[in-house]
Structure 1
Amino acid sequence: MRPHAGVRATTLVLAAVAMTMLAWLVLRLLASGGSSVPEPGWVGAAAMLFLGGGLLVAGWQVRRVRDGSPNPAVTPLRAARTLVLGQAGALTGAVLVGWYLGNVLALLPDADVESQRGRIWPFLLHALVALLLAVAGMLVQAWCRLRPRDDEDDELDRA
Protein backbone atom coordinates (compact mmCIF):
# COMPACT_ATOMS: atom_id res chain seq x y z
CA MET A 1 0.00 0.00 0.00
CA ARG A 2 1.42 3.38 -1.01
CA PRO A 3 1.23 6.09 1.66
CA HIS A 4 -0.51 9.38 0.92
CA ALA A 5 1.92 11.87 -0.61
CA GLY A 6 0.42 14.89 1.15
CA VAL A 7 0.16 18.36 -0.36
CA ARG A 8 2.10 18.55 -3.60
CA ALA A 9 3.91 21.53 -5.06
CA THR A 10 1.69 21.41 -8.15
CA THR A 11 -1.36 21.87 -5.92
CA LEU A 12 0.23 24.95 -4.40
CA VAL A 13 1.10 26.40 -7.80
CA LEU A 14 -2.44 25.80 -9.07
CA ALA A 15 -3.92 27.42 -5.96
CA ALA A 16 -1.64 30.45 -6.34
CA VAL A 17 -2.41 30.85 -10.06
CA ALA A 18 -6.16 30.48 -9.50
CA MET A 19 -6.13 33.06 -6.71
CA THR A 20 -3.99 35.44 -8.78
CA MET A 21 -6.49 35.35 -11.62
CA LEU A 22 -9.49 35.67 -9.29
CA ALA A 23 -7.94 38.54 -7.33
CA TRP A 24 -6.94 40.37 -10.50
CA LEU A 25 -10.44 40.04 -11.96
CA VAL A 26 -12.17 41.21 -8.78
CA LEU A 27 -9.76 44.11 -8.25
CA ARG A 28 -10.08 45.26 -11.88
CA LEU A 29 -13.86 45.11 -11.53
CA LEU A 30 -13.70 47.18 -8.34
CA ALA A 31 -11.27 49.63 -9.96
CA SER A 32 -13.64 50.15 -12.88
CA GLY A 33 -16.27 51.16 -10.32
CA GLY A 34 -13.99 53.77 -8.81
CA SER A 35 -12.54 51.81 -5.88
CA SER A 36 -8.79 51.59 -5.38
CA VAL A 37 -6.61 48.64 -4.43
CA PRO A 38 -6.36 48.51 -0.62
CA GLU A 39 -2.95 48.90 1.02
CA PRO A 40 -1.49 45.77 2.62
CA GLY A 41 -1.07 45.96 6.36
CA TRP A 42 2.33 45.24 7.83
CA VAL A 43 0.61 43.25 10.55
CA GLY A 44 -0.20 40.64 7.89
CA ALA A 45 3.46 40.18 6.98
CA ALA A 46 4.42 39.96 10.66
CA ALA A 47 1.69 37.39 11.31
CA MET A 48 2.83 35.26 8.37
CA LEU A 49 6.43 35.36 9.63
CA PHE A 50 5.28 34.44 13.13
CA LEU A 51 3.19 31.52 11.81
CA GLY A 52 6.02 30.28 9.63
CA GLY A 53 8.45 30.41 12.55
CA GLY A 54 6.04 28.55 14.82
CA LEU A 55 5.52 25.93 12.14
CA LEU A 56 9.26 25.40 11.80
CA VAL A 57 9.73 25.05 15.57
CA ALA A 58 6.91 22.51 15.89
CA GLY A 59 8.06 20.62 12.81
CA TRP A 60 11.66 20.50 14.02
CA GLN A 61 10.52 18.92 17.32
CA VAL A 62 8.57 16.26 15.43
CA ARG A 63 11.56 15.63 13.16
CA ARG A 64 13.87 15.10 16.14
CA VAL A 65 11.46 12.58 17.68
CA ARG A 66 11.07 10.83 14.31
CA ASP A 67 14.87 10.55 14.11
CA GLY A 68 15.12 8.98 17.57
CA SER A 69 15.55 11.79 20.11
CA PRO A 70 13.21 11.28 23.07
CA ASN A 71 10.74 14.08 23.80
CA PRO A 72 7.70 13.08 25.86
CA ALA A 73 5.92 16.31 24.88
CA VAL A 74 5.68 15.17 21.25
CA THR A 75 2.90 12.59 21.13
CA PRO A 76 1.64 10.92 17.97
CA LEU A 77 -1.44 13.16 18.10
CA ARG A 78 0.72 16.28 18.34
CA ALA A 79 2.84 15.06 15.43
CA ALA A 80 -0.30 14.51 13.33
CA ARG A 81 -1.59 17.96 14.23
CA THR A 82 1.78 19.47 13.29
CA LEU A 83 1.59 17.73 9.93
CA VAL A 84 -1.90 19.08 9.26
CA LEU A 85 -0.83 22.55 10.40
CA GLY A 86 2.13 22.40 8.02
CA GLN A 87 -0.13 21.44 5.14
CA ALA A 88 -2.57 24.22 6.03
CA GLY A 89 0.31 26.69 6.21
CA ALA A 90 1.54 25.63 2.77
CA LEU A 91 -1.90 26.03 1.21
CA THR A 92 -2.54 29.34 2.98
CA GLY A 93 0.82 30.67 1.86
CA ALA A 94 0.13 29.69 -1.74
CA VAL A 95 -3.29 31.35 -1.76
CA LEU A 96 -1.84 34.50 -0.18
CA VAL A 97 0.92 34.60 -2.80
CA GLY A 98 -1.85 34.59 -5.41
CA TRP A 99 -3.77 37.33 -3.62
CA TYR A 100 -0.78 39.65 -3.37
CA LEU A 101 0.32 38.98 -6.94
CA GLY A 102 -3.23 39.71 -8.10
CA ASN A 103 -2.93 43.09 -6.38
CA VAL A 104 0.37 43.71 -8.16
CA LEU A 105 -1.20 42.85 -11.52
CA ALA A 106 -4.08 45.22 -10.79
CA LEU A 107 -1.60 48.03 -10.09
CA LEU A 108 0.69 47.35 -13.05
CA PRO A 109 -1.26 49.37 -15.67
CA ASP A 110 -0.51 52.50 -13.61
CA ALA A 111 3.09 51.56 -12.79
CA ASP A 112 4.43 54.53 -14.78
CA VAL A 113 3.12 56.81 -12.01
CA GLU A 114 5.62 57.06 -9.15
CA SER A 115 3.00 56.87 -6.39
CA GLN A 116 1.49 53.70 -7.88
CA ARG A 117 4.92 52.15 -8.36
CA GLY A 118 5.56 52.77 -4.67
CA ARG A 119 2.37 50.85 -3.82
CA ILE A 120 3.56 47.77 -5.74
CA TRP A 121 6.60 47.11 -3.53
CA PRO A 122 4.69 46.32 -0.31
CA PHE A 123 2.55 43.79 -2.21
CA LEU A 124 5.67 42.13 -3.61
CA LEU A 125 7.18 41.97 -0.12
CA HIS A 126 3.98 40.41 1.24
CA ALA A 127 4.00 37.88 -1.63
CA LEU A 128 7.57 36.94 -0.71
CA VAL A 129 6.64 36.46 2.95
CA ALA A 130 3.62 34.36 1.92
CA LEU A 131 5.93 32.25 -0.25
CA LEU A 132 8.16 31.71 2.80
CA LEU A 133 5.09 30.52 4.73
CA ALA A 134 4.27 28.05 1.95
CA VAL A 135 7.86 26.77 1.91
CA ALA A 136 7.85 26.39 5.69
CA GLY A 137 4.64 24.38 5.47
CA MET A 138 6.10 22.06 2.83
CA LEU A 139 9.27 21.63 4.88
CA VAL A 140 7.27 20.74 7.99
CA GLN A 141 5.26 18.24 5.93
CA ALA A 142 8.51 16.59 4.84
CA TRP A 143 9.83 16.57 8.42
CA CYS A 144 6.66 14.86 9.68
CA ARG A 145 6.77 12.11 7.04
CA LEU A 146 7.53 8.70 8.51
CA ARG A 147 10.26 6.70 6.89
CA PRO A 148 9.16 3.28 5.61
CA ARG A 149 10.15 0.35 7.78
CA ASP A 150 12.22 -2.46 6.29
CA ASP A 151 9.35 -4.97 6.53
CA GLU A 152 7.06 -2.56 4.65
CA ASP A 153 9.52 -2.51 1.75
CA ASP A 154 9.28 -6.30 1.49
CA GLU A 155 5.47 -6.11 1.34
CA LEU A 156 5.66 -3.53 -1.45
CA ASP A 157 8.05 -5.74 -3.45
CA ARG A 158 5.70 -8.74 -3.23
CA ALA A 159 2.64 -6.78 -4.42
Structure 2
Amino acid sequence: MKVRRTPWWQYVIGAVLGLLAGMGLASYGEQSGLSLIGTPWVVAGLLAVLGVIVLVLALQVHKYANTDPKKRPHSFINPSIAVNTLVLSKALGLAGATLAGWYVGQILMSASHFEAPFYHDAIIQCAISAVICIADMIIGIIGEWLCQLPPNEGPENPKIAEAKRRQEVSPAYRKQ
Protein backbone atom coordinates (compact mmCIF):
# COMPACT_ATOMS: atom_id res chain seq x y z
CA MET A 1 0.00 0.00 0.00
CA LYS A 2 1.46 3.33 -1.06
CA VAL A 3 0.38 6.28 1.06
CA ARG A 4 1.07 9.81 -0.09
CA ARG A 5 1.68 12.81 2.11
CA THR A 6 -1.23 15.22 2.47
CA PRO A 7 -0.66 18.12 0.06
CA TRP A 8 -0.35 21.61 1.57
CA TRP A 9 -3.31 22.94 -0.38
CA GLN A 10 -5.70 20.57 1.40
CA TYR A 11 -4.84 22.28 4.69
CA VAL A 12 -5.48 25.66 3.09
CA ILE A 13 -8.83 24.53 1.68
CA GLY A 14 -9.84 23.16 5.08
CA ALA A 15 -8.89 26.40 6.82
CA VAL A 16 -10.74 28.55 4.27
CA LEU A 17 -13.88 26.40 4.43
CA GLY A 18 -13.74 26.47 8.23
CA LEU A 19 -13.26 30.25 8.16
CA LEU A 20 -16.29 30.73 5.92
CA ALA A 21 -18.43 28.40 8.02
CA GLY A 22 -17.38 30.10 11.26
CA MET A 23 -18.13 33.52 9.82
CA GLY A 24 -21.48 32.27 8.53
CA LEU A 25 -22.40 30.83 11.92
CA ALA A 26 -21.50 34.01 13.75
CA SER A 27 -23.39 36.12 11.21
CA TYR A 28 -26.45 33.87 11.48
CA GLY A 29 -26.33 34.07 15.26
CA GLU A 30 -26.16 37.85 15.14
CA GLN A 31 -29.14 38.10 12.77
CA SER A 32 -31.35 35.53 14.45
CA GLY A 33 -30.53 36.26 18.07
CA LEU A 34 -29.57 32.60 18.59
CA SER A 35 -25.96 32.72 19.67
CA LEU A 36 -23.94 29.69 18.71
CA ILE A 37 -20.44 31.17 18.93
CA GLY A 38 -17.76 30.10 21.36
CA THR A 39 -16.66 26.70 22.49
CA PRO A 40 -16.83 24.82 25.77
CA TRP A 41 -13.52 24.47 27.60
CA VAL A 42 -13.81 20.70 27.47
CA VAL A 43 -13.49 20.84 23.67
CA ALA A 44 -10.18 22.68 23.88
CA GLY A 45 -8.98 20.20 26.49
CA LEU A 46 -9.98 17.19 24.39
CA LEU A 47 -8.31 18.63 21.30
CA ALA A 48 -5.10 19.16 23.26
CA VAL A 49 -5.17 15.63 24.70
CA LEU A 50 -5.87 14.19 21.25
CA GLY A 51 -2.87 16.03 19.83
CA VAL A 52 -0.60 14.69 22.58
CA ILE A 53 -1.84 11.12 22.06
CA VAL A 54 -1.25 11.26 18.29
CA LEU A 55 2.23 12.72 18.82
CA VAL A 56 3.18 10.00 21.30
CA LEU A 57 1.91 7.26 18.97
CA ALA A 58 3.73 8.78 15.98
CA LEU A 59 6.98 8.98 17.97
CA GLN A 60 6.65 5.29 18.90
CA VAL A 61 6.08 4.31 15.27
CA HIS A 62 9.06 6.42 14.17
CA LYS A 63 11.31 4.94 16.83
CA TYR A 64 10.34 1.40 15.88
CA ALA A 65 10.60 1.96 12.12
CA ASN A 66 14.05 3.53 12.33
CA THR A 67 15.60 1.06 14.77
CA ASP A 68 17.82 -1.65 13.37
CA PRO A 69 15.76 -4.88 13.27
CA LYS A 70 18.48 -6.71 15.19
CA LYS A 71 18.43 -4.15 18.00
CA ARG A 72 14.65 -3.79 18.32
CA PRO A 73 13.11 -4.66 21.65
CA HIS A 74 11.02 -7.79 21.86
CA SER A 75 7.82 -5.78 22.00
CA PHE A 76 6.90 -4.66 18.54
CA ILE A 77 4.27 -2.37 17.08
CA ASN A 78 1.39 -4.04 15.35
CA PRO A 79 1.28 -2.90 11.69
CA SER A 80 -2.37 -1.96 12.04
CA ILE A 81 -1.47 0.36 14.92
CA ALA A 82 1.17 2.01 12.74
CA VAL A 83 -1.32 2.49 9.89
CA ASN A 84 -3.98 3.79 12.28
CA THR A 85 -1.46 6.25 13.70
CA LEU A 86 -0.76 7.52 10.18
CA VAL A 87 -4.49 7.90 9.52
CA LEU A 88 -4.96 9.69 12.85
CA SER A 89 -2.11 12.05 12.00
CA LYS A 90 -3.63 12.87 8.61
CA ALA A 91 -7.07 13.39 10.13
CA LEU A 92 -5.72 15.50 12.99
CA GLY A 93 -3.87 17.77 10.58
CA LEU A 94 -6.88 18.37 8.35
CA ALA A 95 -9.34 18.69 11.25
CA GLY A 96 -6.98 21.06 13.04
CA ALA A 97 -6.77 23.31 9.97
CA THR A 98 -10.55 23.30 9.47
CA LEU A 99 -11.38 23.92 13.12
CA ALA A 100 -8.76 26.67 13.36
CA GLY A 101 -10.51 28.39 10.45
CA TRP A 102 -13.87 27.83 12.14
CA TYR A 103 -12.77 29.54 15.36
CA VAL A 104 -10.94 32.36 13.58
CA GLY A 105 -14.07 33.03 11.51
CA GLN A 106 -16.11 33.37 14.70
CA ILE A 107 -13.49 35.70 16.16
CA LEU A 108 -13.48 37.92 13.07
CA MET A 109 -17.27 38.29 13.07
CA SER A 110 -17.50 38.87 16.82
CA ALA A 111 -14.55 41.24 17.25
CA SER A 112 -16.73 44.34 16.85
CA HIS A 113 -18.69 43.30 19.98
CA PHE A 114 -15.62 42.63 22.12
CA GLU A 115 -16.73 45.00 24.89
CA ALA A 116 -19.84 42.92 25.64
CA PRO A 117 -19.08 40.27 28.32
CA PHE A 118 -20.61 37.38 26.34
CA TYR A 119 -18.65 38.17 23.18
CA HIS A 120 -15.50 38.87 25.19
CA ASP A 121 -15.64 35.39 26.75
CA ALA A 122 -16.56 33.75 23.44
CA ILE A 123 -13.67 35.42 21.62
CA ILE A 124 -11.20 34.31 24.30
CA GLN A 125 -12.54 30.74 24.13
CA CYS A 126 -12.31 30.73 20.34
CA ALA A 127 -8.79 32.17 20.41
CA ILE A 128 -7.54 29.49 22.79
CA SER A 129 -9.26 26.77 20.76
CA ALA A 130 -7.81 28.17 17.52
CA VAL A 131 -4.28 28.07 18.96
CA ILE A 132 -4.81 24.47 20.08
CA CYS A 133 -6.18 23.57 16.63
CA ILE A 134 -3.17 25.12 14.91
CA ALA A 135 -0.94 23.10 17.24
CA ASP A 136 -2.96 19.99 16.35
CA MET A 137 -2.52 20.71 12.65
CA ILE A 138 1.24 21.00 13.13
CA ILE A 139 1.29 17.81 15.21
CA GLY A 140 -0.67 16.07 12.44
CA ILE A 141 1.82 17.16 9.80
CA ILE A 142 4.77 16.12 11.97
CA GLY A 143 3.05 12.84 12.89
CA GLU A 144 2.53 12.09 9.22
CA TRP A 145 6.24 12.67 8.62
CA LEU A 146 7.18 10.51 11.63
CA CYS A 147 5.14 7.58 10.31
CA GLN A 148 7.18 7.37 7.10
CA LEU A 149 9.10 4.17 6.66
CA PRO A 150 12.80 4.40 5.92
CA PRO A 151 13.78 3.32 2.41
CA ASN A 152 13.82 -0.45 2.14
CA GLU A 153 16.77 -2.40 0.84
CA GLY A 154 15.19 -2.67 -2.57
CA PRO A 155 16.63 -1.54 -5.91
CA GLU A 156 15.60 2.09 -5.33
CA ASN A 157 17.67 2.41 -2.15
CA PRO A 158 20.69 4.65 -2.80
CA LYS A 159 23.08 2.21 -1.08
CA ILE A 160 21.92 -0.72 -3.19
CA ALA A 161 22.03 1.33 -6.39
CA GLU A 162 25.60 2.44 -5.61
CA ALA A 163 26.70 -1.14 -4.84
CA LYS A 164 25.12 -2.34 -8.10
CA ARG A 165 26.89 0.40 -10.05
CA ARG A 166 30.22 -0.61 -8.50
CA GLN A 167 29.65 -4.25 -9.47
CA GLU A 168 28.93 -3.26 -13.05
CA VAL A 169 32.07 -1.11 -13.20
CA SER A 170 34.38 -3.67 -11.54
CA PRO A 171 34.22 -6.46 -14.21
CA ALA A 172 34.88 -4.00 -17.02
CA TYR A 173 37.81 -2.56 -15.13
CA ARG A 174 39.31 -6.01 -14.52
CA LYS A 175 39.39 -6.85 -18.25
CA GLN A 176 41.96 -4.16 -18.88
- What's 2:63 paired with? 64
1:89–1:133 contact (8 Å) kept in structure 2: yes
- What's 1:8 paired with? 7
- What's 1:100 paired with? 103
Q: Which amino acid aligns with 2:150?
A: R
TM-score (norm 1): 0.85
1:37–1:103 contact (8 Å) kept in structure 2: no
**How do 1:1-159 and structure 2 match up within 5 A?**
4-68=3-67, 70-71=72-73, 72-111=75-114, 113-115=115-117, 116-149=119-152, 151-153=155-157
Q: Which amino acid aligns with 2:50?
A: L
2:23–2:106 contact (8 Å) kept in structure 1: yes
How far 1:27 sits from its partner (Å)?
A: 2.3
SS of match in other structure, 1:152: coil
Superposed CA deviations along residues 24-55 of structure 1, whole A, max 9, x for unmatched, are 12320231111224331110111011101110
For the aligned residues, what is the CA RMSD?
A: 2.2
Percent of pairs with identical residues: 24
1:24–1:106 contact (8 Å) kept in structure 2: yes
How far 1:60 sits from its partner (Å)?
A: 0.7
1:31–1:37 contact (8 Å) kept in structure 2: no
Q: Which has the larger radius of gyration?
A: 2
Q: How many residues align?
A: 153
TM-score (norm 2): 0.77
List runs of 5+ in structure 2 lacking aligned partners. 162-176
How far 1:15 sits from its partner (Å)?
A: 0.3
Task: Give distance in 1, aligned partners of 2:79 and 2:72.
Answer: 13
